[in-house]
Structure 1
Amino acid sequence: MPEYVNVFLLALLAGLAMPAGAILARADLLHPAFLTANSRCFIIAFGGGALFSAVALVLVPEGISKLSPFNAALYFIAGGFFFYWLEGWLKRLRSAAGQLVAMLSDFIPEAIALGTAFATGGQTGLILALMMLLQNLPEGFNAYEELIKTSDFSASKIIYAFSGLALIGPVAALIGYYLLADMEALVAGLMLFASAGILYLVFQDIAPESKLINSRIPALGAVCGFMLGLVGNMLIQ
């Protein structure tokens, strides 16, 4: 089988975990006894842990390996401020798109990284695909339950929308495979930009105890704190 087909199928499989998670959430809402309260909380927490693992184990290490400390900090803090602005804009619009942004913020750069890993002969492609799949299942679960409560979308429309989002992954992976394999600095910057966005969204939406009422500043502080540790680690290596 040609390598580009493997890239396409792996990215698609990882993306399909999003509608699979949504279907699991729908079953949970239709049949409350389907999952216990502990199981439901475990899935939500697992999603947060998976997002952190994407930042700590894949996106940040790959990003800082190709950039200077200054450029790494620039991309990272730019991502944090962008997602700070984006969430505020979505709240003013009263849009449910925030959940979709949260899912795609790590899925797209990881899919691009998947494509570039195969194109450059790296050994991380299969591991990255597995990590993407494990992240997208709880993310799809969490996003479905949030959207069904806060939006006017029907259950079927949400699942169809998630299925459509799954197709973005193979496109991003093939872009990485064919177009971005030689643009290491750009891909690295994208990974760090997305890392800051993920970190912001996790602290803002998944770690509510770090929030103040009607304030998004604490989550931005988490981005700045992570950026400080990132640069310090790079300077002492």
Structure 2
Amino acid sequence: MLLTVILSTLLAGLAMPFGALIARFENIQQKWLEEELRHGIMAFGGGALLSAVALVLVPEGIAEHSPITACIWFIVGGVAFMLLDILLKKINTPASQLAAMLSDFIPESIALGAAFATGNSSAFLLAGLMALQNLPEGFSAYRELNAKPTYKPYKIIIVFTLMALLGPVFGVSGYLWLAQHPETVAAIMLFASGGIIYSIFQDIAPQVKLENHWAPPIGALLGFSLGMFGLMMTTH
């Protein structure tokens, strides 16, 4: 089972450099199609993130907490992501998408490791949703960093690949040490959920809209639909 945790978190993490590779070699001649593709990928990531929150993280999190404490952890997560966003803005770094991606990936890896340890049926679903959301997040983070001449493409992809190794580290931590503390795992899930909701409406949703084009939001529907399909497959 420990090997399953390592492989699941690693594969979910490798979706980040894979998304960066897509952004690196993406080159469509028709401008309108290129714009719709980019906005569609961001929308797909938003849908996958939303499905992770609605179908896995929040349902699992509230099962171990009272309504008051669940709401507190959820709100604290959103506020923490907001403060991180403000800090990144003040220091004028182009790494806001990168920070948001890591802020999702680390707590989700911890929760995934603990889910495997407790035999939770949603563990594989969570792993799949992590990969689905990391792909478009890697795409967006690469484009954000690559806009600055100081960040070379190959260096960005190498960094993203090294970041993927954080998944097994935190996943194994959750598997070995947090499985006996379901309330802590639930709090981490709720904290991550609050942060994800903040990120969706602060960073992803505003970038999805494209004037006089209506296809990109379909990406959000497809992303959420995949999460819903995965939930139904694992529970039936």
TM (normalized to structure 2)?
0.82
Q: Which residue of 1 aligns with 2:142?
A: 144
Q: Deviation of residue 32 (structure 1)?
A: 3.3
Matched with 2:106 is 108
In the alignment, which residue of structure 2 is the partner of 1:185?
A: 183
**C-alpha deviation, 1:71, in angstroms:** 0.7
Contact 1:96 1:151 (8 Å CA) reproduced: no
Q: Tell me how far apart the structure 2 counterparts of residues 81 and 175 of structure 1 sit (CA, whole Å).
A: 25
Letter in 2 for 1:32: I
1:76–1:196 CA contact under 8 A, matched in 2: yes
Letter aligned with residue 15 of structure 1: G
Following superposition, the deviation at residue 190 of structure 1 comes to: 1.1
Q: CA deviation at 1:129?
A: 1.3
Structure 1 segments (4+ residues) deviating >4 Å: none
Which of the residues 9, 13, 22 maps onto 2:11? 13
1:202 has 2:197 as partner: no
Instruction: Name the CA distance, whole Å, in 2 between partners of 1:187 and 1:193.
Output: 10
How many residues are aligned here? Answer: 206
Q: Aligned ranges for residues 71-82 of structure 1 at < 5 Å?
A: 71-82=69-80
Please report the TM-score for the alignment, with normalisation by the length of structure 1. 0.82
- The CA distance in 2 between the partners of 1:205 and 1:133, in whole Å, is 19
Q: Tell me if structure 2 keeps the 8 A contact 1:48–1:206.
A: yes
In the other structure, the counterpart of 1:173 is 171
Greater shift, 142-151 or 54-63, is seen at: 142-151
Percent identity at matched positions?
Answer: 55
User: Aligned to 1:49, which of 26, 47, 50?
Assistant: 47
Does the CA contact (< 8 Å) of 2:95 and 2:141 recur in 1? no
Which of 26, 29, 34 matches 1:33?
A: 29
Q: Give, in angstroms, the shift of residue 193 of structure 1.
A: 1.0
Write the distance in 1 (CA, Å) between the matches of 2:48 and 2:77: 19
* 1:156 equivalent in structure 2: 154
Letter in 2 for 1:50: A
* Paired residues of 1:76 and 1:193 also in contact (CA < 8 A): yes
Any unmatched runs of 5+ in structure 2? 208-236
More relative contact order, 1 or 2 (CA 8 Å, 6+ apart): 2
